[in-house]
Amino acid sequence: MLPLHKIALRMFALLVIPTLLVSESAFAAARVDEAPSKTVRYHDLNLNSPEGVVSLYERIHAAALDVCRSAESPWRQSLESWTEREWCVNHAVSNAVQSVHNEKLSAYYWQQIRTRRVH
């Protein structure tokens, strides 16, 4: 069972991810007292093209990995910490994709989920 402070920290990180998606006209200033965050910019991508959608998804996934990364070294992590990280990444990506409000990105995201479940 996870300690309550770890659950609260993970939930806070999940709530922060959707706010990390910034268009070219917006700017987010990082504060020292905030949870780890990563800004994902996508103003340079054409989300009407498959390439643009894949690029944004990859950026979102990479940002989620960074935000959810454990402080422990990879070779010292327990199965529980890997499971927590995977849960954090999956939920962070889901929330970020949803916050973009793009049907093509959402469809690509669901395709990725189905592909992972089959393998």
Q: Are 59 and 42 in contact (CB under 8 A)?
A: yes
**Could you tell me the two tokens for 76?**
């010292």
Residue 79: per-residue pLDDT? 64
- Per-residue pLDDT tens, the chain, 119 aa: give them: 445 444 445 555 555 555 555 444 344 444 445 556 788 999 999 999 999 999 999 999 999 998 888 544 555 566 667 788 888 899 999 999 999 999 999 999 999 998 877 65
Alpha helices in the chain (DSSP H): 4-16, 50-68, 79-100, 103-118
Residue 28: per-residue pLDDT? 46
DSSP calls for 75-96: GG--HHHHHHHHHHHHHHHHHH
